[in-house]
A = this chain, B = another copy of it.
Amino acid sequence: MAHADAWHICVQAEPFEVGQELNALQQATPQAGAIVNFIGLVRDQFSPSEASNAGADNPDTGKGSLEAMQIEHYPGMTEKALNAIAQQAAARWPLLGLRLIHRIGRLEAQAPIVLVATSSLHRQAAFEACAFIMDYLKTDAPFWKKEIGPQGEHWVEARATDEQAKQQWKHAQ
């Protein structure tokens, strides 16, 4: 926590450059021995629909190639939710720094959506904090994805496995 810019949380439409973000984190935390980074990307296929919803909007949901993803969020609440998640992680692991960037708006297939990078003295803290932040982001941060393909669009369904992933952190330790 030596440098003010060791903690960076941002919601933005603009692309980010992964190498640049990791270099910035590394330079802001010169004591770091371990940096772990997660990048979430727009897949080039539609995500599988829940059975209850399959074909409701669009007979083609669940298969076919995806053109883009539209990401909506709740301005004001999003920033608070991301900060709260980061604070929980910092209370649980000895983090030196963090970069958390989530994009919004229209993103083309294969574009990066989210970057979470954690910096710590040792690898275990960096790995666990990074996975923790992603698991909480998936269930607590107000973002919604809509997939757009040649034959229509549909909202991505929340996955039960994401809620389970978060719950595991409550039982751990």
Query: Chain B residue with minimal CB distance to A38?
Result: B36
A98 contacts B by Cβ under 8 Å: no
Contact of A19 among B22, B44, B134 (CB under 8 A): B22
The answer to whether A37 touches B36, judged by C-beta atoms less than 8 angstroms apart, is yes
- Stoichiometry, copies per complex: 2
Across the interface, which residues of B come within 8 angstroms of A32, CB to CB? 41, 43
A44 vs B26: C-alpha distance in the bound complex, in angstroms?
12
Tell me whether chain A's interface is mostly helix, strand or loop, or mixed.
mixed
- In the assembly, what is the distance between CA of A123 and CA of B126, in Å? 15
Please encode chain A, from 15 to 38, with 1 for each CB lying within 8 Å of some chain B CB and 0 for all others. 001111011001000111111111
A118 to B19, CA, bound (A): 16
- Complex-state Cα separation, A20 to B123, whole angstroms: 22
